[in-house]
Structure 1
Amino acid sequence: MKLGYLSFFFIIIILFSLGCFYYYPFFSDDSLISLRYAQRFIEGKGLTWNDGHPVEGYSNLLWVLAISVLGKLGINLILAARIVGILCSLGILGSILYYFRNKNIQKEYVFLAVALLATTPCFVVWAIGGLEQPLYVFLLTLILIEVSKIVNYHNFKTVYLLSFWLGLLTLTRPDGFLFTILTLGFLLAICRKKDQFIKIGFVIAIIPSLFLLGQLAFRYNFYRELVPNTALVKVKVTIHHILRGGFYNFKAFFSTFLLSGLGLISLYYLLRRKNPFGYYLLLLTVAWISYVTSIGGDIFPAFRHYYVVLILFVFAIIFGLQYFKKISFTSKKVTWGLVFLLIINVFIQSLINDNVRAVDERWEFRGMELGETLKKTFSNQTLVAVTAAGCIPYSSELPTIDMLGLNDYYIPRHPPKNFGRGSLAHELGDANYVMNRNPDIIIFNIGSEPRFNIGDQLKSNKIFNRNYIKVKAKDEEYQLFFNKYGKNTGIKNTGSQLIIPGYLFQALSDDVSVFSDNKLIKIMNRGNVYTLSIDHLSSEDWKIVGSDEENAKFNADIRIKNGQLTIKITPKNNMFLESLVLEREY
């Protein structure tokens, strides 16, 4: 093959760009959680998600800081996350090609491994998906290169750079320190000279540990905790999660069968040759798969937690394929056969459901539209309770309760008794706590019926059923639950007057409201009966003294019994109602 490394790099960039274009504009909801932290950090509010007691609801410190740097320069944060992700992804491809360009390894092995990686959906989806995987795997790639220099070429001078990459990996994700432990143990096990043993043990043990201790010191000083909220919400080792995690890895392997299968075969041949670097790859692969299995896998498209295994298999192919005699790249038939196989592989992977999700999943953008609408419509002190903790809080910038607990202090520390036997990262919730916080608006997903454990609790909660009104917004068919007595979106009681938002009235049919001109307005159809009950009022009579709609004509029936005021409105014509004003009769 006459193709050179530089030419191949440009070709692979084109393939990578096509993959990104195919999955664009996928952007995960958890990415938007990180962006809310970054936005508030840029604004000088610290690494916080809300005002008040700070919690660490992110697990990607270095990623958030990198995005914050670009955000501080005025770059849109979603674009900033994509830029960092794409640059790290190109860094993975470029560093592999640059490292092996002058090594005594047939370039076709390198090209095949890199091409398999670049055409795998996991690689391109998470280049644009907004989470830290590209940075994490880029640093892991640099670590593998440095360990290869030590193991294969006995270059022990690189141990300092290796330690630095390990330290940065620790800051990227909390589980990054796992690779420090594994790498240190492996290098000490194969080291034969005393001076090298001491050097490796000291440098690799100390430098990454300083990164870890620095983050722990910051965490304890700022959050008053030693572990992030993410660990409390997502990590509970149970049989249920282990089975789920095992199935996750099983699906990931067979969904990336060409790369994973060839990587496993190549690793086998490396082990047969008793190649030390092969043992290192095996150690990391087994440890990572065991870890992912124990935590229950993941919920996002395209197997992001399998990304680590994919890069390990890439190195296994590069080093181990030379021992697999059945593949000869000197034959044009073999070369074109592999090209055809790559094309078929891309097509098959595009049909796999977990990859299709990255094409179809666009609800985060609808959630951001809803958040922007809420921001324009209601006071900046409006308290919103959500289950989708990324899109709506990020775009609305409103104070928010994360009902699933990732960004809340109380909820993760009071888990349900069956924690560890439900849906990963969606098991927590405390209806009594949420009701005590008295949110103005409650939103499930991006405006749906109550869901998850917290939804089931609220459906049977007396306060929720008494105080919250389901409001259907016509625009995008949102279903929002408004607190009748909320400070910012509910009924305003001045003592002598009641100012009632129109959207709180309910009817048996055609019961919708509409966002218009930064207001939420009730659509009322002629002949329908719209009802609202208000509790805890004195027994005096009340009368309607006005509404915002000049042409509104309706019959009204106002009754009070046992401290509960019931208002029934029957429009004489189709009308819009923004608010209704009642006055006490003395």
Structure 2
Amino acid sequence: MVVSLVLLALFLVGAWAAWFFTIDDAFISFRYSANLADGHGPVWNVDGPRVEGFTNFAWVVWSGLGAWLGLALPLFTKVTSLVLGLGTLYLLIREGHRRAGLTGVLVGAGAYVVFLPTYFHITAGLETAAFAAVLLRIVVLGVRVLANERVRTWEPPVLLLLLGMLRPEGVLAALPVFLLWFVRSEGRARWLWSGAAVVVGAGYFVWRWRFYGQLLPNTFYVKFGHLDSGWLWTKHTAVLLLPLLLLTLSLVVRKATRGMGVLLVVTVAVTYVTYAVSGPTMDYLDRFADHAIPVLCLGAGIAAGTLKPRLVGALLGLVAVGWSAVGGATAPDLGVIANYGPDLQRAHVAIGKGLAEADVPPAARTLAVTDAGAIPYYSGWNSIDYIGLNDAAIARGADPTEVVMKARPTVIVVTANGPDPSGTRYGFDFAKATAGYEKVSTVEMRAGYWQNVYALPQYAATIGQHVQQRADAARKANDYDRAEDTVDRWLDRLRSQLPF
């Protein structure tokens, strides 16, 4: 009980330290969710071609419920992920204790709570914590099947379906446990539940194919197929998780734990293979590795708690926990992410809210932007994402400069290293596309990262006024004159929030 309370306290402190953080990508899903709640369906723009710029359908639908209830989606998704993170911690404590005693708890749950990126994935607003929690639950069911313990008949098919709707690769990740359960269970009920899951999953696939008119999510065409970066991701992940991986692999060596070890290793392998061959972009703080980290924590805890002699298991477990703590705390992008929340508020959120308040008629509320998250979400304007995540034509190779010039939106937001953009970014020619526009605002997000706002002359005054007012107010409320991406800046902010 004391150990569990200490682990819970550490978890809650970690969540508090990262609570201000929401990633810009989450607002892409929020925009689809808001349009769904308003009755338009899960679409990027209410008017125009449908495009599937997300890969987390179940998360979009769940967030749509929050939007329909009138709740702020950043808070709604944070609370959801916090609850799921607590569920993950509970499973690690309970299963670790059942399978490997106190050492299993200290190593498995301990490695989870000391891994700092855990908390930023909980508070980011995306489905990461949900995916990790559901995958861990499925693995726990698999372990119970191997131990000839009771598993509710409906649970494996439902979790397989849910994980596949949280992310497409979730079907592959859940498949080893599902097949094990299906082969080893008996009775007609497993056929009925599995058949129902297949029917629902197939129905969803056919619906989304007809609704969006494409076989795969639009983001697939932008992100997939980067084998070089996939190899780098694999090497980095292997080093980051090395003790957890080795301890989990050690389960395979011993006869008594071989079945469990094979199940865990295969599950982690099929979960990670998608990222190894695609080189996931926007992978802040090892976001995609986090999907299977709780599974590895469970495996490492069981391995450490069942190794003989016990002292060896305890020492190896201590190494795994320490490695996780150091690896998370020394992540190269920790400084950027730790300050990302305030930085997003004073740039993207401020620009989006300023656009929403500008005196621009509805028909002219059109926008082109490279960071297609908080700016389109808070503005509510019809938006071109000229990276292509939410634009089917650009994703398939259309020139983003030509697409934007043809549309001639009222506002173009140019992301650059400073207040004077030059050259190209993501194939977008700044100077060519903004010819005839007026620069009305330059907003610094952080050192070396600026958003430059250009507007058509007839709307330049009102847009510039409202955007700059919002940006000035947000800057005062969010670290004011500090823009460096350092861990010290984050720690100083946390110290300022302490009551003593």
Is the shorter-chain TM-score for this pair beyond 0.5, marking a shared fold? yes
Aligned to 2:200: 211
Aligned to 1:364: 344
Does the 8 A contact of 1:126 with 1:304 survive in 2?
yes
Aligned to 2:389: 406
- The question of 1:470 aligning with 2:466 is answered no
The 1:15–1:444 alpha-carbon spacing in structure 2 relative to 1, beyond 3 Å, is same
Following TM superposition, by how much is the alpha carbon of 1:452 offset from its aligned partner in structure 2, in angstroms?
9.0
Matches within 5 A, 1:180-259: 180-186=174-180, 191=183, 196=186, 202=191, 206-235=195-224, 237=225, 241-255=226-240, 257=241
- The question of 1:35 aligning with 2:30 is answered yes
**DSSP 3-state at the match of 2:454:** strand
Q: Deviations over 1:406-445 (max 9, x none)?
A: 1123222335xxxxxxxxxxxxx52111111111111123
User: After alignment, is 146-155 or 129-138 more displaced?
Assistant: 146-155
Following TM superposition, by how much is the alpha carbon of 1:330 offset from its aligned partner in structure 2, in angstroms?
11
Aligned to 2:138: 143
Following TM superposition, by how much is the alpha carbon of 1:116 offset from its aligned partner in structure 2, in angstroms?
0.7
Q: Deviations over 1:95-131 (max 9, x none)?
A: 3334455x35323212321111112123211111111
Correspondent of 1:389 among 363, 372, 375: 372
**DSSP 3-state at the match of 1:467:** coil
Aligned to 1:284: 267
Following TM superposition, by how much is the alpha carbon of 1:64 offset from its aligned partner in structure 2, in angstroms?
1.8
Question: Counterpart amino acid of 1:468?
Answer: Y
**Separation (CA, whole Å) in 2 of partners of 1:445 and 1:59:** 24
Does the 8 A contact of 1:26 with 1:128 survive in 2?
yes
Correspondent of 2:51 among 49, 52, 55: 55
**Separation (CA, whole Å) in 1 of partners of 2:327 and 2:173:** 33
The 1:81–1:469 alpha-carbon spacing in structure 2 relative to 1, beyond 3 Å, is same
Does the 8 A contact of 2:29 with 2:60 survive in 1?
yes
Following TM superposition, by how much is the alpha carbon of 1:34 offset from its aligned partner in structure 2, in angstroms?
1.0
The 1:64–1:457 alpha-carbon spacing in structure 2 relative to 1, beyond 3 Å, is closer
Q: Deviations over 1:323-351 (max 9, x none)?
A: 432543999xx69x94x995786356323
Aligned to 1:96: 92
**DSSP 3-state at the match of 2:25:** helix
Q: CA RMSD in A?
A: 3.4
Following TM superposition, by how much is the alpha carbon of 1:173 offset from its aligned partner in structure 2, in angstroms?
0.9
Following TM superposition, by how much is the alpha carbon of 1:91 offset from its aligned partner in structure 2, in angstroms?
1.1
Unaligned runs of 5+ in 2: 472-500
Correspondent of 2:156 among 131, 156, 162: 162
Question: Counterpart amino acid of 1:479?
Answer: N
Matched residue count:
460
Question: Whose RCO is larger (CA < 8 A, sep 6+)?
Answer: 2
Aligned to 1:314: 297
- The question of 1:352 aligning with 2:302 is answered no
Does the 8 A contact of 1:411 with 1:430 survive in 2?
yes
| TM-score, scaled relative to structure 1 | 0.70
Following TM superposition, by how much is the alpha carbon of 1:285 offset from its aligned partner in structure 2, in angstroms?
2.0
Does the 8 A contact of 1:444 with 1:450 survive in 2?
yes
Following TM superposition, by how much is the alpha carbon of 1:390 offset from its aligned partner in structure 2, in angstroms?
0.4
- The question of 1:178 aligning with 2:172 is answered yes
**DSSP 3-state at the match of 2:266:** helix
User: After alignment, is 394-403 or 442-451 more displaced?
Assistant: 442-451
Following TM superposition, by how much is the alpha carbon of 1:298 offset from its aligned partner in structure 2, in angstroms?
3.4
- The question of 1:436 aligning with 2:406 is answered yes
Does the 8 A contact of 2:129 with 2:291 survive in 1?
no
**Separation (CA, whole Å) in 1 of partners of 2:79 and 2:112:** 19
Following TM superposition, by how much is the alpha carbon of 1:46 offset from its aligned partner in structure 2, in angstroms?
1.8
Aligned to 2:452: 479
Correspondent of 1:296 among 271, 279, 285: 279
Question: Counterpart amino acid of 1:432?
Answer: E
Question: Counterpart amino acid of 1:249?
Answer: T
Does the 8 A contact of 1:38 with 1:65 survive in 2?
yes
Question: Counterpart amino acid of 1:54?
Answer: R
Does the 8 A contact of 2:81 with 2:123 survive in 1?
yes
**Separation (CA, whole Å) in 1 of partners of 2:327 and 2:267:** 28
**DSSP 3-state at the match of 1:389:** coil
Aligned to 2:249: 267
**Separation (CA, whole Å) in 2 of partners of 1:51 and 1:316:** 46
Give aligned-pair identity as a percent: 20
Higher helix share: 2
**Separation (CA, whole Å) in 2 of partners of 1:184 and 1:165:** 9
**Separation (CA, whole Å) in 2 of partners of 1:163 and 1:120:** 31
| TM-score, scaled relative to structure 2 | 0.81
Question: Counterpart amino acid of 1:127?
Answer: I
Aligned to 2:82: 86
Unaligned runs of 5+ in 1: 416-428, 491-500, 504-512, 521-586
- The question of 1:65 aligning with 2:61 is answered yes
**Separation (CA, whole Å) in 2 of partners of 1:299 and 1:394:** 19
Higher strand share: 1
Following TM superposition, by how much is the alpha carbon of 1:319 offset from its aligned partner in structure 2, in angstroms?
2.9
**Separation (CA, whole Å) in 2 of partners of 1:517 and 1:126:** 31
Question: Counterpart amino acid of 1:183?
Answer: V
Aligned to 2:13: 18
Aligned to 1:536: none
Q: Which has the larger radius of gyration?
A: 1
